[in-house]
Structure formats: C-alpha cells, structure tokens
Structure 1
Amino acid sequence: MQIIRSLQFLQPQKFIPYQFKPPAMKLALAFLSIPCISAYDIWPLPASYTTGTTTLSLSPSLTFTLDDATISNDVLTGAFTRYAEAISGGMGCGDTRSLLSQDESPNAEGEVSSCTVSISNGSDSPSLSYTTDESYSIDIDEDGKCQINAATEFGVVHALESLSHLAGETCSISNAPVSLSDSPRFSYRGLMIDSARHFLPIHFIEHIIDTMAASKLNVLHWHISDTESFPSSSDLFPELAEKGAYSYPDASYSVQDLKGIVKYAYNRGIRVMPEWDVPGHGSWGKGKPEVTILDGACSNTLDPTNPDVYTFLHSFLTEMADIFPDANLFLGGDEVDTNCFDSSPTVSKWMSDNDIEDGAALQSYFWQQVTAQVMPGLNKTLGVWMADDGIPFPEDLPAGSFGNVWQSQSMMPTVIDRGADVVLSGPWYLDQQQPGGYSTYALQAIWQGMYAVEPYDGLSESQQDNVLGGEACMWAEGVNAMDFDAIAVTKAAAVAERLWSDVSVVDLDDAQKRLMEHICRLNMRGIAAEAIAQNFCLSDVL
C-alpha cells in the first residue's frame, strides 16, 4: 500500500500539539535509551502472550488482506488504510525510520510484509453495541508470517492498534515469534467529554476519539450541553443552538457535524452516547423558555409541572435518536436545585395541589413522566447520574436503566440492589487532584490512584454481574482544547487498562514502566499526553 502521508495519523488537521521537524543530526545514541518493544508493552496489557528472540523488520509497504472476499465495509477498509500507513509512515515508526543509518537499524532476521485477517462473524454492516465481541489474536512466526483472528471487525481494529504498539519506535518486532490472545474485562470503557463549559471543535473531538482508540476505550460519553451553552443543533428546534451556543454558528455542532462524529467514532470501534441533562444543567431557557420555570430563580431548569415539557423532550430526543444510533441515551438528572421549585409560585402551588411534599418528590414525579411519556418509542436504554442521595431513584426509571455512580464508589451496591445496572466514574474524575480520596504530592502521580481502583470492591459476586464498566470524566470548567491532552490522556489510559486487563494486573511499578512507553508512543503520534516520570522519548527532540 502506497504511503501518502507520514505524521497525519492521530493528529487533528488544525490543532497540532507538536510540529515534528527532522533533527540536524542522526540520533544514534537516542535509540540506546529506548527499550525494545514487546507484546508485554502493548497497552492495555493483553490477556495472554508469548514471545521469542527473533527480530523482524516491518515492511514500508505493509499490507493487510482479508481472507473472506465477501465481507466489505468501511470499518475494515478504513482501518487497513490507517494502520498500514501509520505503522509504516507515522505513529513514530516512519519518522524514526528515516533517521536511522544502516548500522543503527535493527539487525532484522526477516520481514513482515503482509498480514492475513480472519473474522469469524464479519458483516457488511457490523453492529457496535455493549454486546459486541471485541476479542482478537495476533500470531507472527519467525519467518514473518502474520495472522490476525477476530470475532468481529471491531476486534480487528483493536488487533491493528496492538500491532502498531508492537512496531515501536524502530519499526520492527524484536521478539518473534509473537502470539497473543486478548479481550476486554468490561464492555463499557468510557471517556466523558464536556463541550458546554468550553467548546471543542469537531477536528479536536476526532483527535480525542483517536486517543481513545490508542488505549482501547470504546464509549465516548458526550456531555454536549449544560447551563453555560447549548451547542447541539436540531432541525426541529434550531433556536436551542442559535440562542444557546456561545457563538452561533461558529461554536455549535450542525446536525451533519453530529452525524460525522458518530461515524468517525464507529469506524474506530467507539460508541457515542450523547447527554442532554434534565431537568437542570441544560441552558434550556435560552432557546425554549416556555418549557422552563418562568417565575422562579432558575430559568434554565425544566418545569416538571408543565405537560409541554414531556411533549418537547419526546420530540427533541426522537430527532436525536436518529442522529445518535447508540442503544444508550444519557439524561443526567443530577444536582437539581430544589430552590428553583420553592421560588416559583406556580410550581409551589402545583405541588401543594397534587400532594407533592418536597423537591425530591417532584423529581420522582418528573422521572416517572419521562418513563411514561418520553422514553417509549425511542428504543434507548436510559442512563443517569446517580448520587449518594439516590436521585434519580432507579424505581422511577424504565426497566434496564443504568446509573453512573459519580460520587462515592460505596453507592454501587445500593444502586444495584434497587434495580439498576451501574457504570463507575466517581474515582476517575480527571479534573481532580485527589480522585477517589487518593492523596499524592506530585501531579504526575495522580494516575496511580486511578489505576488502583477496583470496580468490584464492595460488591457481592451476584452484584458484579450488574457492573457494565466505567468511565473517566473530563469536566471542562478549566479545560479546553489547549490543555485537554496534558490533563486527560495519561490518566484516561490508566483507567483504560483497569477496565480492559485482568483483575490480577495491579503492580504499580510494572504499570509505570509500561505506561511510560505508551506515553512516548502517544507523544510520537502528536498526542500531548502527560509524562509521569523522568525518561527520554524521541518526541523530546523531533
């Protein structure tokens, strides 16, 4: 396959953290400080692997061949193109290849020029959901024969990512034969992004998706709007973005933008789960004041006593369900200021007339109406933030709903016992210096607290069956596209291994060595991941 670009892979077209330039001299000594890459250095750590001692170079014209010619889809063709170009001409490998003299190049005993791919459950229109089989295996023998096996196209995407890790900085596989078999521990491995507090351009969200794929995260939880701005466009209700965005149309997402992000993520094995927070946290009042509390202190809070609220939500979310085909829909539900209810004479009178005694009871009423009037026909599984006070209460939600436990992890058994599945995020807030109560002096050590979290802590064996997985959350009050990578990427990678690799993978010293390699790999791709310890990476001088 002809190489048509080098450092384009995983770099957004407009935002480029690093501008790589050829150094003035060869970097012979630099390679002495870079360890050999092995199956052991794949991040997250594979389920099982064996290695040998033979060194194989990777051909600059590496190709991938599907053994079943009847299967044809954009996921595979896109992945084959990206990774063939990336391994040969980007992701660090291709750029160091030109720096090596013949004497400095690895002493290869063979070459990997092509790789055969087999898919046991392939399809022209592969389905991506929480039940998708993401398992894969890679086998490379001493003669350079390469075989990838996977159950689905998305397992192939993970396999190609792992193969790119094997390639390393020296464009070679240093310890063939390599045989590895891999699959994730949890089906939900997410990263939440917040485009309301600071607008994130489309090209940068694509960049985030590529960083997620590099660590095998598979759910983009898109907190798309909040009190500060409503950048999400709608054909039915254009006033939401026109009046709610920071700057319309520049700081908003068109319907085509939204669809484009969904497709971009899908081709990389990543589901996009949108969130529009209700009844608060929404800036609803800027574009649709008639469905908010008009005579109280909170003009951006939906009025649970107004029947038009539920008609509006059903119409809006029906449109969004067509744009975002993922099975999950997230509607927030957290941090509702009950003073909004008490300060409104209209709402207070309605509550008195209907024997609803307080704000908590009114929130229950709201979610009961969402369950009865909004969710039917959407064909979505509802997700909400679930706090230590239990609101929204699982019994008020549709059957099968899940709660994102965002405060204390100890809340998980209660949420499960009350009838909901759970996603854990509380210990993995990327904007916190002491996530989950972990105390550390150095900022670069925060990842250790996140890595040490065990999602099953405090759960019985039967309760564990209700844990879908977890997600790292990058709230954006103090984060924008300029500092996102440095704050989010390394710590999210630590969470990614906790959610992918076996429960026995807990050694922090070992993880630090491997994570340092992964950070260097990301840096070589133009991703400004935070360093965690003193070391040398070629990105320091390129």
Structure 2
Amino acid sequence: MWLMIQVLPDNIILLLWLLAFKTYICQTSYNTRNALPLWNWECINDKCLPLKATHVSKLQSLETCNMLCSSIQIWPQPTGSVSLSTTAVPARSDMFQLQMIQAPTKIVHEHLQEAFAHFREDLQRIEHGSRGFEEWRSVSVRLLVNGSDDPRMTLETDESYSLSLRPVEGTAVALIADIAAHSFCGARHGLETLLQLVWLDSYMGSLLILEAARIDDAPKFPYRGLLVDTAHNFFPITELMLNIDAMAASKLNTFHWHITDSQAFPLQTNSIPELSNYGAHTPGDVYSPDDVRTVVRRARLRGIRVLLEIDAPAHVGHAWSWGPVADLGDLVFCLDLEHWSDYCSEPPCGQLNPVNERVYDLFERLFIDVMQLTGVEDMVHLGGSDISLRCWNDQFRHTFNDSMDLWIHFTQSLLKRLERRTGRIPKLTIFWMSSLSERFKSDIRRYIDNIGFQVRHAAWAQTYVTGIRTIMSHEDAWDLNAGQGAWYEENNGAPYNSWQRVYEHRPWLKHGTGVIEGGEATVWSTEVGEGSLVAHTWPRAAALAERLWTDRPEGATRPVHARLDVHRTRLVQRGIQASPLWSMWCTQNTHTCN
C-alpha cells in the first residue's frame, strides 16, 4: 500500500486559495456571519496543523488537509495496492454521470443504475446545495461488471473491485472513474470508495475530488454482519434504513435482523397472521410484508443481505399461544411462569412444543415467507439459543438426556421440513452456539457440511467449534450493549465495548481448526429504543467493519482514531447521526491528542 505524492505548482495553489477567499466573502448562505475563518490547516510532517489564518493566500480547510495529507482516508482501508494523488479539483453532484460499460444481465444493469442513483443522492447530502465555483469538473463514472449475473449478496459473491480515477487526456475539465468488478456488490463497493474520495470543503463551499487514484481491494472475510434486535423494542423502518446506509458506507454486508423473540413477534406474515396478532407489542408496532420488502430493497442496492432470524425453539412467547383456540393443540410451553428465572433469561418465557407436528407445519410456511421476503436462499438462521431442557423435563417428566434428544429431534425435523419445502438444505444453516452444541454437532452428521455456529462466548471457540463453520460474535468485544448492565441487575460487571475494544479484537488468532466465515456485532434492544439505534451503534460498528474487511495487524492507534473520526464526519454529513469519538478540539488538533 503506497501513496503517489504530487505537488501542485505554486500558482495553482494560489489560485485555489484565492477562489476559496472569494467564496468565503461571497457566500453568506454558507457562513452567515460573513467572517474569515480562524484557522488555516497545513500538512507538516504528515500531520494537519492549525495555524492562525493571517495570510489569506494560504487558506486551506481541515477537510481538505485531511484528504491531501499522507494518511489514506478510506474506511475500511483497502487490502490491495493504493495510489492517491495529493491534488484535488472542484466537483458538483449533478456533474457525475453514469456510463455503463458492461453488465452480465438486465437485472444487474438495473441494480447498477439504481445504486448510482443512491450514490448521487449521497453526494447531494454532502454538498448541501453549495455554490462556489464556475470551474467544476465533470466526472464520468464507468461501470464494468464481468462475472455474476445475480445482484444479491451470497456466500459465493466475489466482492473485489478495482477503481481508477484520472483526468481526461487533453482537457482540464473532466475526470474518468473506472470501476471494474466481478459482481454487482463489488461494483457497489467501488462506488462507495469513490464517494469517499469526494468531500465538502467548508472554506470553498464546494465539493472537491482527488484528481487521480488507483485502488485494488477485496475483503478478508466473506461474512461481515451487524445484528439488530427489534423484538425487545421496536424501531421504525426509517431508522433501520439509516442503519443500513451506515453499514454500506462501512462495507458491512449482512444485516442480521433478529426480528422475533419471546417479548414480541412483530413480523406480519400473510400465511400466519396470528403470530403478530398475538405477539406484537401494539397493533402499530409491526413490520408488514411491504415494510420488510422496503428494507430488503434498500439493503440489496447497498450490497447487503438481510438475514431474517425467527428464533426457536426457545425465545418464543405469546405469539404462539393461540394453538388451542385454533384446534392446533399446545404450540408453546412454560409461558407466563411465576418463577421465570428458572426457565429463561428474561420474561416472558416460552418454548415450542417439540412433539406437536403442527409446529413444524407452521415453520414450513414461515420458511417460505422469509425466503420470499428477503430473497436469501443460500443461508438461514434458526436461532437455537438459551434452550431450557428443564422446561421440557417438567412437561414430559423426562431426564436431561431425554430432553436433549427432543432438541435434536426438533432441529432435525426443522431441517427436514426446510429440505422438503425448498428442495435442498441452504449452504449455510446457522445456530447460536451453546453448551449443548457438542452433542448437537455429533447427532446431525447428515447436515454437518451445511451447519454453522454463531459464537457469543470466546471460551467456547476452541472447545466446541473444531471442524465447524463459525461466525464470531464474542460478547466481550463485539456486543455493543456490554457495560450497560441488564434491566434486572445493577451491574453485571461487563466492561463497555469501546470502538478501540471492538477494533483490537482478532479472535481468529487463537481459533482452533474451524472455518471462520467472519464476524458480527450485536445490538440487543432491551435498553435501546426508537431514535437511539444509530447513535448507539455508530461509529463503533465501523471499527468492526475495518477489522473484518482489512484486518490490519495494528491496534487502535491514534492515527486509526483520527481516520475513524474522518469517517464519522462522513456519516454525519450523509444524515447518519453517529456519536462523536472525542471532543471537537481533538478533531481539529489530532497532533495534540495523538
């Protein structure tokens, strides 16, 4: 990874500074006080240092200094070669034009067009309708996809891309940005990187874009996820889509939607409306099929899959209580028990009846509903966490081993129904890992090549995961609720997972012989509600994104801190209200805070 250093002639620098001065004097809409800036930032020894703006001929904003000084301001940093000029030219959002070079199918072509429209919208948000230059450069964005004819994110998707940005030979008024990829998702990542080479210069009141760049990039891990729980507390889809926008800006590729739990079943389905009728918090706190399709569409155009989890057999509640009324028998046991702490981690308890065939009939219909809504066919998440063998022991007067057999029976029955309805088992069927997983692994050998564990506890990684495909979600680093305690206890002793803690966690260095698909941060909504999801999650989830995309050996150093701060500013400019990483002083004086 290297930088191509170019030095602007002094007369060009002077011209840019004078244009900036002209903009500052004329644009009262941008600076209502019509005052000169207090500071000028200069790149000295690879650091942006603030100096009093006493010489207008040397005016440079912090944003421009950050982008043109030595550090690579792309988040996550690319894994391949990088060549960036240190010269910039003015740009305007409506002067970015799409030129389709190649797309393997009509649907990929259409997805590329819509993704470019989103790219232009993001530019407009950053631009804020600024006016300042008459010397804007047009940018022709040329997209070439030579590979997958499926625009969806799948387990086989090649997310690599290459980006080349250069001036048009023989003219000083145009740039060409070539993005080549083997999939729609790779091309979309290329658009995201191009977007990060554009910024709003607050002194000039105009967008600027690097004059030249060459980047080759591909992620280290194929699964890079973020779980959001909407069962404990409800989030409107507008908030979920902002979260998806932030995921795309950071190149995460899996929105794990933990949509149901014992507290609520807010998913409306056409085939089983009773689940949300009995299980939603209120009639308004539901996600209709159209709501889910809206989120899925937004995610797909951002290169993200929506993995919809219907947790079972535990973590079910009143949504399944209507069985006797519908002559289906008991669908759920252990509901509304007085001593809930003996049967589950949070009330209300509830666990499906593993010997009632109607349970499996309902799940067959749910499988089809979920696949049709999300379009995700090669991956499914079947939950499986916090199973209470005591619940089944009490109900059937079984021994521990008998109830363990019931869980194996339940899981095998689900897999057989899924296979029967879809004609095949998905390539990756994910279960939450637990202390019961070793027995589980040994008893489902028929499906072992299609099974993966999502691991929440680091202590389980070596003991249980050998030979199993694994998604890491270690609570001691990537649970974004850690440190808050739980509603039923004063303090559980867990430390707060800061962005530094998230960034520095590299569990694969101590992992056994399992196949690591990737990792995922989790946001459980027990103590997170409407209006707080984005600020609670970002930019900490972006730290995970770079860890999973790039996995650089360095820890959370101050230069990384400063780069993440630049990325956080980008998110805010795009309407994603990520929390600050430090004080404004440190943003303006990173050399002091380093």
* Alignment TM-score, normalising by the size of structure 2: 0.76
Task: State the secondary structure of the residue aligned to 2:521.
Answer: strand
**Does 297-306 or 158-167 show the bigger shift?**
297-306
1:321-470 matches, within 5 Å, as 321-326=371-376, 327-344=378-395, 347-348=396-397, 351=398, 357=401, 359-378=403-422, 379=424, 380=426, 381-390=428-437, 393-397=440-444, 398-399=447-448, 400-408=450-458, 410-417=459-466, 419-426=467-474, 427-433=477-483, 446-459=498-511, 463=513, 466-470=515-519
Tell me, yes or no, if the aligned pair for 1:63 and 1:114 is still in contact at 8 Å.
yes
Residue type at the aligned position of 1:24 = T
Per-residue CA deviations over 1:33-67 (Å, capped at 9, x if unaligned) read: 33332681111011221122332222342112111
Which residues of structure 2 form unaligned runs of 5+? 1-28, 40-59, 169-174, 325-329, 338-342, 344-348, 486-492, 589-594
Tell me, yes or no, if the aligned pair for 1:386 and 1:392 is still in contact at 8 Å.
no
Taking a change above 3 Å as real, the CA distance of residues 286 and 158 of structure 1, as seen in their structure-2 partners, is: same
Taking a change above 3 Å as real, the CA distance of residues 392 and 257 of structure 1, as seen in their structure-2 partners, is: farther
Shift of 1:138: 1.3
Tell me, yes or no, if the aligned pair for 1:403 and 1:420 is still in contact at 8 Å.
yes
Counterpart among 483, 487, 492 of residue 536 in structure 2: 487
Distance 2:103 2:335 in 1: 64
**Does 492-501 or 72-81 show the bigger shift?**
72-81
1:132-531 matches, within 5 Å, as 132-143=157-168, 144-170=175-201, 172=207, 175-248=210-283, 250-283=284-317, 284-288=319-323, 290-293=330-333, 297=337, 300-326=350-376, 327-344=378-395, 347-348=396-397, 351=398, 357=401, 359-378=403-422, 379=424, 380=426, 381-390=428-437, 393-397=440-444, 398-399=447-448, 400-408=450-458, 410-417=459-466, 419-426=467-474, 427-433=477-483, 446-459=498-511, 463=513, 466-531=515-580
Shift of 1:246: 0.9
**Does 49-58 or 157-166 show the bigger shift?**
49-58
Tell me, yes or no, if the aligned pair for 2:453 and 2:468 is still in contact at 8 Å.
yes
Tell me, yes or no, if the aligned pair for 2:152 and 2:303 is still in contact at 8 Å.
no
1:36-51 matches, within 5 Å, as 36-37=66-67, 40-47=72-79, 48-51=81-84
Distance 1:387 1:274 in 2: 20
Distance 2:233 2:484 in 1: 23
Tell me, yes or no, if the aligned pair for 2:219 and 2:550 is still in contact at 8 Å.
yes
Distance 1:178 1:242 in 2: 54
Residue type at the aligned position of 1:78 = E
Residue type at the aligned position of 2:211 = A
Task: State the secondary structure of the residue aligned to 1:97.
Answer: coil
Distance 1:295 1:205 in 2: 30
Higher relative contact order (CA 8 A, sep 6+): 1
Shift of 1:97: 3.4
Distance 1:82 1:28 in 2: 35
Taking a change above 3 Å as real, the CA distance of residues 199 and 440 of structure 1, as seen in their structure-2 partners, is: closer
Distance 1:323 1:358 in 2: 37
Taking a change above 3 Å as real, the CA distance of residues 295 and 273 of structure 1, as seen in their structure-2 partners, is: closer
Shift of 1:533: 1.6
Task: State the secondary structure of the residue aligned to 1:168.
Answer: strand
Distance 1:423 1:122 in 2: 25
Residue type at the aligned position of 2:231 = A
Distance 2:261 2:195 in 1: 38
Task: State the secondary structure of the residue aligned to 2:119.
Answer: helix
Q: Which residue of 1 aligns with 2:120?
A: 84
Per-residue CA deviations over 1:236-259 (Å, capped at 9, x if unaligned) read: 2111001111112x1111122222
Taking a change above 3 Å as real, the CA distance of residues 324 and 85 of structure 1, as seen in their structure-2 partners, is: closer
Q: Which residue of 2 aligns with 1:12?
A: none
Q: Does 1:24 align with 2:9?
A: no
Task: State the secondary structure of the residue aligned to 1:258.
Answer: helix
Q: Which residue of 2 aligns with 1:116?
A: 142
Residue type at the aligned position of 2:91 = L
Task: State the secondary structure of the residue aligned to 1:407.
Answer: coil
Per-residue CA deviations over 1:83-131 (Å, capped at 9, x if unaligned) read: 12432x22x2x12834xx56xx9xx8x83422222222264x5343021
Per-residue CA deviations over 1:427-466 (Å, capped at 9, x if unaligned) read: 311111399xxx999x6x8110110011312135xx36x1
Taking a change above 3 Å as real, the CA distance of residues 56 and 243 of structure 1, as seen in their structure-2 partners, is: same
Shift of 1:305: 2.8
Bigger radius of gyration among the two: 2
Per-residue CA deviations over 1:168-201 (Å, capped at 9, x if unaligned) read: 2225556532111111111100010111011111
Tell me, yes or no, if the aligned pair for 2:335 and 2:350 is still in contact at 8 Å.
no
Q: Does 1:97 align with 2:130?
A: yes
Shift of 1:389: 4.6
Task: State the secondary structure of the residue aligned to 2:310.
Answer: strand
Percentage identity across paired residues of the two chains? 26
Shift of 1:395: 3.1
* Alignment TM-score, normalising by the size of structure 1: 0.82
Which residues of structure 1 form unaligned runs of 5+? 1-20
Distance 1:51 1:357 in 2: 62
